C-alpha cells in the first residue's frame, strides 16, 4: 500500500511537469530575460548593477546548458523556473528582481513566439531547398515527355518538367503561408503581465526592437491567451505535408515496376527482408505516413483551445509537445524529400514510351476536327466512337487505316497521322500550359522566385 501511494504521489507530482520538453526553449527564454533586465535598468525600475549581474548570470546559465552540465531539476516543472532558480544560486538576491513587471504567462508567450519565428524561417528554407531540387530535375529533363493522368488514367501528354513544376507551385503557396504566419507571430507579448498589463513604466517598443519583433501586442488579455500563430503554423505545416505526401505517392508509383519512371537512389530505398530482388521506396512511404501525425497536432491544438475562457489556462501548456513534434516532422520531411528528389534517376525512355499511347491523343484529334470547322461537342462524339472502334479492332489510333478515319468523318485527311505525343504538348502553348516554350518560361520564373536567375 505504501509503495502504491508513493507511486501515485510520484505520478501526481510529475503530471504538470514540462521541463522534459520545454527545455528546448532555453535560448529564447534567456534572450528574452536578458533584454527584459536591461530594459528594467534603462527605465530605472532596477539598478544598473543588478541588471549587469542578471545578464552575466543568464549568460553563464546558457553556457552551462549548451555545455551539457546544467543542473536540471524536474521538481521546478519548467524551463522558466529552472533558469530562475539557477540564477539565484549564481548571483543571489539580485536574481529576484528579474521577474519584476513580468508573469510566466507573458514570459512563455514571448518564448514560444521567438521559437516559432525560428521554425518558420527554417521551414521557408526547407521548402526552398525542395523547390530547388524539383527545378533542377525539371531543368535537366525539360524535353522529356510523359503521360499526364486524371482519375489515375492516362489522359494527355505533358512534359516531366511541367509535372514537377506543379509541385513547385504548391510549395510556393506553402512558403507564402509560412511567411504570413511569421508576420503574425512577430509581435511582442512581453509586458502584458498575467493578463492585465503591469504597473511599471516598461518600454515595450524598445524590448520589441531588441528582440527583433515588428511591434507589440495591442491587448494584454489577448496576448497571454493567443495561440493563433501556432494554429496558423500547424495548418500551414499540415498543408505542406499534404503536398509532400502527394509527391511521395507519385514517387512510390513511379518507382514501381508497373511504371518504371524513376529509380530511387540506394540510400533512399531499402531491400526486403525476404525478397532479395526488391527495393522499397521507404523514405517516400514514411514521409507519406508522417503526414497524419502533423494533422493530429493541428486537431489537438484546435481541441485544446476551443473551450478556453480568457485568459491563460493551464490547458495551454499542451501547445508545446504537438508544436515541437509537428515542426520537427515538417523540417525533417522537407530535408529528406529534397534529397530524394535531387538524387532520383529519371527513366526518360520509359516515360516517353508510356507517352506514346495513341489514345492520349484523342483530345488532339477532336481539336483537329474543330480546326476543320466541326463544333467541339460533335468532334468529341466522333472521336469517342473512333476510339471505341480502334479498341474493338485491337489497334492504336495511329494504326487505323485512313478509310476507317473517314468512315467517321470526311474531314479526316492524311495529316492526322502527324499528330504525335510531343506535338500534343507543343500545341498547348498558353500561359501555364505544358508547351516547351511555356515550361522554359516557368523554369525561369521558378529560378527567379528562388533568387537563382541565370
Omega of the bond leading into 85 within 30 degrees of 0 (cis): no
Higher pLDDT, 416 or 49: 49
Q: Tell me what pLDDT residue 454 has.
A: 45
Q: Tell me what pLDDT residue 276 has.
A: 56
pLDDT per residue over 240-272, tens digit each?
A: 999 999 999 999 999 999 999 999 999 998 766
Kindly tell me if the per-residue pLDDT of 12 is higher than 70: no
Of the listed ranges 17-21, 211-215, 355-359, 433-437, the least confidently predicted one is 355-359
Matching fold, domains 105-204+217-353 and 357-438: no
**How far is CA 319 from each of CA 82, 121, 325, 418, rounded to the nearest angstrom?**
20, 20, 11, 62
Q: Specify whether the CB–CB gap between 347 and 260 falls below 8 A.
A: yes
Per domain, the residue ranges of the chain are 2-100, 105-204+217-353, 357-438
Kindly tell me if the per-residue pLDDT of 309 is higher than 60: yes
pTM of the model: 0.93
Q: Tell me what pLDDT residue 5 has.
A: 59
Query: Cβ–Cβ contacts within 10 Å for residue 275, how many?
Result: 8
Q: Specify whether the CB–CB gap between 169 and 443 falls below 8 A.
A: no
- The stretch 289-314 carries a mean pLDDT of 97
> Residues 6 or more apart from 247 whose CB is under 8 A from it?
167, 337, 341
Kindly tell me if the per-residue pLDDT of 443 is higher than 50: yes
pLDDT per residue over 405-423, tens digit each?
A: 999 999 999 998 888 889 8
- The stretch 380-399 carries a mean pLDDT of 91
CA distance 437 to 120: 35
Residue 17 carries which DSSP code?
-
Is residue 360 very low, low, confident or very high in pLDDT (cuts 50, 70, 90)? confident
Q: How far is CA 265 from the centre of its chain?
A: 23
Tell me the residue ranges of DSSP E strands in 329-396. 345-346
User: What is the CATH topology of the domain spanning 2-100?
Assistant: Fumarase C; Chain B, domain 1 (1.10.275)
Report, as residue numbers or ranges, the catalytic residues.
Answer: 151, 272
Q: Tell me what pLDDT residue 419 has.
A: 87
Is residue 39 very low, low, confident or very high in pLDDT (cuts 50, 70, 90)? very high
- The stretch 303-331 carries a mean pLDDT of 97
- The stretch 125-154 carries a mean pLDDT of 96
* pLDDT averaged over every residue in the chain: 94
**How far is CA 259 from each of CA 146, 272, 365, 444, rounded to the nearest angstrom?**
11, 20, 26, 29
Is residue 322 very low, low, confident or very high in pLDDT (cuts 50, 70, 90)? very high
Q: Which CATH number fits domain 357-438: 2.40.50.100, 1.10.150.120, 1.10.40.30, 1.20.58.110?
A: 1.10.40.30
Q: Tell me what pLDDT residue 269 has.
A: 80
Of the listed ranges 68-82, 163-177, 273-287, the least confidently predicted one is 273-287
* 159 bridge partner residues: 145
Of the listed ranges 87-96, 136-145, 193-202, 394-403, the least confidently predicted one is 394-403
Angle between helices 160-185 and 436-449 (to 10 degrees): 30
Q: Tell me what pLDDT residue 278 has.
A: 67
Is residue 274 very low, low, confident or very high in pLDDT (cuts 50, 70, 90)? low
pLDDT per residue over 79-116, tens digit each?
A: 999 999 999 999 999 999 999 999 999 999 999 999 99
Kindly tell me if the per-residue pLDDT of 6 is higher than 90: no
CATH 1.20.200.10 applies to domain 105-204+217-353? yes
Kindly tell me if the per-residue pLDDT of 298 is higher than 50: yes
Higher pLDDT, 2 or 427: 427
φ, ψ of residue 191 in degrees (nearest 5): 110, -5
Amino acid at each position: 500500500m505504501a509503495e502504491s501511494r508513493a507511486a501515485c504521489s510520484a505520478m501526481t507530482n510529475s503530471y504538470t511537469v514540462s521541463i522534459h520538453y520545454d527545455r528546448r526553449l532555453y535560448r529564447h527564454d534567456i534572450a528574452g530575460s536578458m533584454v527584459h533586465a536591461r530594459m528594467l535598468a534603462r527605465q530605472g525600475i532596477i539598478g544598473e548593477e543588478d541588471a549587469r549581474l542578471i545578464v552575466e548570470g543568464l549568460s553563464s546559465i546558457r553556457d552551462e546548458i549548451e555545455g551539457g552540465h546544467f543542473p536540471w531539476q524536474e521538481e521546478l516543472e519548467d524551463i522558466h523556473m529552472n533558469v530562475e532558480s539557477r540564477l539565484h544560486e549564481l548571483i543571489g538576491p539580485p536574481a529576484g528582481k528579474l521577474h519584476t513587471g513580468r508573469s510566466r504567462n507573458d514570459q512563455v508567450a514571448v518564448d514560444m513566439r521567438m521559437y516559432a519565428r525560428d521554425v518558420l524561417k527554417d521551414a521557408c528554407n526547407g521548402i526552398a531547398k525542395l523547390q530547388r531540387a524539383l527545378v533542377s530535375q525539371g531543368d535537366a529533363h525539360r524535353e522529356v515527355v510523359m503521360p499526364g493522368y486524371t482519375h489515375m488514367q492516362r489522359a494527355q501528354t505533358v512534359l516531366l518538367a511541367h509535372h514537377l513544376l506543379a509541385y513547385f507551385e504548391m510549395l510556393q503557396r506553402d512558403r507564402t503561408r509560412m511567411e504570413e504566419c511569421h508576420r503574425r507571430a512577430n509581435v511582442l507579448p512581453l509586458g502584458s503581465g498575467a493578463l492585465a498589463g503591469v504597473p511599471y513604466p516598461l518600454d515595450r517598443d524598445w524590448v520589441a526592437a531588441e528582440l527583433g519583433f515588428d511591434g507589440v501586442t495591442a491587448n494584454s488579455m489577448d496576448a497571454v491567451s493567443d495561440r493563433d500563430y501556432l494554429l496558423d503554423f500547424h495548418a500551414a505545416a499540415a498543408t505542406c505535408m499534404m503536398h509532400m505526401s502527394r509527391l511521395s505517392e507519385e514517387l512510390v508509383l513511379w518507382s514501381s515496376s508497373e511504371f518504371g519512371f524513376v529509380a530511387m537512389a540506394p540510400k533512399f530505398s531499402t531491400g526486403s527482408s525476404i525478397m532479395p530482388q526488391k527495393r522499397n521506396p521507404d523514405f517516400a512511404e514514411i514521409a507519406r505516413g508522417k503526414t497524419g501525425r502533423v494533422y493530429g497536432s493541428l486537431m489537438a491544438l484546435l481541441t485544446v483551445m476551443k473551450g478556453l475562457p480568457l485568459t491563460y489556462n493551464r490547458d495551454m501548456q499542451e501547445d508545446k509537445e504537438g508544436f515541437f513534434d509537428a515542426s520537427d516532422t515538417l523540417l525533417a520531411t522537407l530535408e529528406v524529400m529534397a534529397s530524394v528528389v535531387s538524387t532520383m534517376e529519371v527513366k526518360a525512355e520509359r516515360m516517353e514510351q508510356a507517352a506514346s499511347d495513341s489514345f492520349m491523343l484523342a483530345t488532339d484529334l477532336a481539336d483537329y476536327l474543330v480546326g476543320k470547322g466541326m463544333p467541339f461537342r460533335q468532334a468529341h462524339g466522333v472521336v469517342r466512337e473512333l476510339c471505341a472502334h480502334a479498341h474493338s479492332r485491337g489497334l492504336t489510333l495511329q494504326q487505323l487505316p485512313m478509310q476507317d478515319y473517314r468512315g467517321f468523318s470526311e474531314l479526316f485527311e492524311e495529316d492526322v497521322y502527324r499528330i504525335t505525343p510531343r506535338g500534343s504538348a507543343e500545341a498547348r502553348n498558353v500561359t501555364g500550359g505544358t508547351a516547351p516554350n511555356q515550361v522554359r518560361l516557368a523554369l525561369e520564373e521558378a529560378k527567379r522566385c528562388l533568387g537563382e536567375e541565370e
